[in-house]
Structure 1
Amino acid sequence: MSTYAIYGRSSNAAGAWLNETAGGARRQRSQPTLSDEQKATAETNRKHLNTALWHANKIQHRKDVEARIFGNIETLLEFPSANPFTSVDVSRFTSLVRSFQPSDFDNLIEERRIDGKCGYALCSNAPRTESLGTSAAWKLKAKAASDYCSDDCTRKSLYVKTQLNEVPAWERDPAQHPKVVVHLDDRASATRVQPAIATRAVPPRATQNDLALERGDTTSSMRPSQVMTSTVVEHTNTDRATTRPPDAEVASHTAIEGYEPTSGSVVMQPPKMSSVEAVSLEISIAEPSTAMDDEEADSWRDLFSNVSER
């Protein structure tokens, strides 16, 4: 046997031994023995990794939704596509604002006002700040009124805003997106549907009869002769009886320049005295009782004289 053959066999045997030794070492390294503490640590790290991935996906989803809302605002800045708007504009407008919050809708209004357009996306007019000027903005009753061209657009915009969901779009289920509709005036303008049956004028008499039936009136009650008459009566103005001042004999101490004040409809006058009563008073005054002194008699005489004069 040659030297080269012996050397070759030796080399092959050495190579096989080395391969077997290396394989055993690899098998020993691939199956390490872990302690309970190491297993608990690995499980905790796995949970932390899953939690971090969940939050990362949630943040990424929120960023995607916010980017989509921002893109919708940019799209609505160019609305409407025609003046007046079309039904296609209405459909796109309602679909783009479904994911909006009320705050997102306010951002759209502000961006359109800055761009020199009415805050309502379906209106192509300029806002009041452009037509009146910024110096006249204080004349408007509310701050939001300066973002629109008219009160009608303000009302229509608020009608859409009240339908939006307060919950952020990235926290909603797909079924929670509201179904947004525009104002009735815009729906009628966008539809432009003509009635299939032409309306004809209804005779006034038939209309009156229908109204009478709804009220429950009878046919006889609708006769014009029972409602009004054609007789014209001329009214003449009659002079009122002039009042004259009372006589001097009737006038009393309560008279004011010859006129007696009234209490209601009754004139307050003192009772009249007959001539016999007046004479008796004068006689009684002329002949006072002897029991009275002169001073008392004079006072009574003055009193009766005043009464007789009245």
Structure 2
Amino acid sequence: MADSTSRDDRESRARATALRHALDIEDRKKLQARIADLVVEAFDLPSKPDADPARPQPSDATLFKECLGLFQAADLDDLIYERNVDNRCGYALCPRPNQKLAHNGQKIWNRKGGKDFALIDKAEMEKWCSKSCRDRTMFVRAQLGTEPAWLREVQAVEVRLLEEFSPESLSDSFHALSLSKGTGEGLAGRLQALALERGEPHVAGNQEPVAIVENSSEYTPKPPQLEEQQDSVEGHHPRKVRFSKP
């Protein structure tokens, strides 16, 4: 009877495990299908043929960022490829055609001299209509999730467009990171506790600048004098070794 019960428990656990894996695979397939649909939706952007990629429509920008939230770099590459096949710029919010370079080689000159001279892939340059759209694409690409969406704790990643960043917003971000009064007091307390662990009785705060005093002296050091001895070799005195006669 006990063996029968144990066998039933093992079979029940095996069925539960198989069901859980089947549900995970089904969720993964649904998410992959959703990502494929988002590639198609981003392919049709922008909504207007005269749209400005520097000032996209709010609805277009929202849809594009929703797509990017689930994308990996490979998904964005698929979108760029599909748009290039349709002779359009790889940046989804740009309605212009991608550029076609007349050069027949695989490498082209970046039209810079000196240390900035470089040969770049022609196919890479032909993915976009201009360097501006290339920079916009590289900016959002750097924010994409590195793991598949089904492996992330939070599936969608918040992605921002290049035009959403301005010098004022960057300044506000750095200002928010600056140490406030309360943060400074907390930091001073942690430094004091660390000093006590090292055996130091007190650590002065950095409320005032540290005074730097330069000590002067009239003493002039003299160079060392080499001893003039016959048995020294560049200041080294070899040991005297006596050899016994055979």
With structure 1 as the length reference, what TM-score do the two structures score? 0.45
Contact 1:105 1:161 in 2 (8 A): yes
> What is the CA deviation profile of residues 107-129 of structure 1, one whole-angstrom value per residue up to 9, with x for unaligned ones?
1111111122111001111112x
What is the alpha-carbon distance in structure 2 between the residues aligned to residue 133 and residue 94 of structure 1?
34
* Count, aligned residues: 150
Q: What's the C-alpha RMSD, in Å, of the aligned pairs? A: 2.1
Aligned residue for 2:63? 92
In structure 2, which of residues 28, 34, 38 is the aligned counterpart of residue 68 of structure 1? 34
Contact 1:100 1:164 in 2 (8 A): yes
Aligned residue for 2:183? none
Query: Are positions 1:167 and 2:136 aligned together?
Result: no
> What is the CA deviation profile of residues 209-262 of structure 1, one whole-angstrom value per residue up to 9, with x for unaligned ones?
xxxxxxxxxxxxxxxxxxxxxxxxxxxxxxxxxxxxxxxxxxxxxxxxxxxxxx
Contact 1:120 1:154 in 2 (8 A): yes
Query: Are positions 1:119 and 2:98 aligned together?
Result: no
Query: Are positions 1:57 and 2:23 aligned together?
Result: yes
Query: Are positions 1:105 and 2:76 aligned together?
Result: yes
What is the alpha-carbon distance in structure 2 between the residues aligned to residue 163 and residue 187 of structure 1?
14
Q: Percent identity?
A: 29
In structure 2, which of residues 147, 157, 160 is the aligned counterpart of residue 181 of structure 1? 160
Deviation at 1:133, TM superposition (A): 6.0
> What is the CA deviation profile of residues 61-112 of structure 1, one whole-angstrom value per residue up to 9, with x for unaligned ones?
1100000000000011111011214222112111221011112111111111
Matches within 5 A, 1:245-260: none
> What is the CA deviation profile of residues 177-213 of structure 1, one whole-angstrom value per residue up to 9, with x for unaligned ones?
32111112x778xxxxxxxxxxxxxxxxxxxxxxxxx
What is the alpha-carbon distance in structure 2 between the residues aligned to residue 73 and residue 135 of structure 1?
31
Q: Specify the structure having the higher radius of gyration (Cα).
A: 1
Aligned residue for 1:39? 5
Aligned residue for 1:299? none
Per the alignment, in what secondary structure is the counterpart of residue 166 of structure 1?
coil
Paired AA for residue 88 in structure 2: K
Contact 1:137 1:146 in 2 (8 A): no
> What is the CA deviation profile of residues 245-297 of structure 1, one whole-angstrom value per residue up to 9, with x for unaligned ones?
xxxxxxxxxxxxxxxxxxxxxxxxxxxxxxxxxxxxxxxxxxxxxxxxxxxxx
Matches within 5 A, 1:129-168: 131-132=100-101, 135=104, 138-139=107-108, 141-142=120-121, 143-168=123-148
> What is the CA deviation profile of residues 117-155 of structure 1, one whole-angstrom value per residue up to 9, with x for unaligned ones?
111001111112xx3369466437224222111111111
Runs of 4+ in 1 over 2 A off after TM superposition: 131-140
With structure 2 as the length reference, what TM-score do the two structures score? 0.56
CA gap 1:122/1:59 in 2 versus in 1, 3 angstroms: same
The structure that is helix-richer by fraction is 1
Contact 2:88 2:97 in 1 (8 A): yes
Paired AA for residue 112 in structure 1: R
What is the alpha-carbon distance in structure 2 between the residues aligned to residue 90 and residue 41 of structure 1?
57
CA gap 1:121/1:114 in 2 versus in 1, 3 angstroms: same
Paired AA for residue 127 in structure 2: D
Contact 2:72 2:146 in 1 (8 A): yes
What is the alpha-carbon distance in structure 1 between the residues aligned to residue 29 and residue 158 of structure 2?
24
Contact 1:127 1:147 in 2 (8 A): yes
Please say which of residues 100-109 and 67-76 is displaced more in the overlay. 100-109
Paired AA for residue 23 in structure 2: N
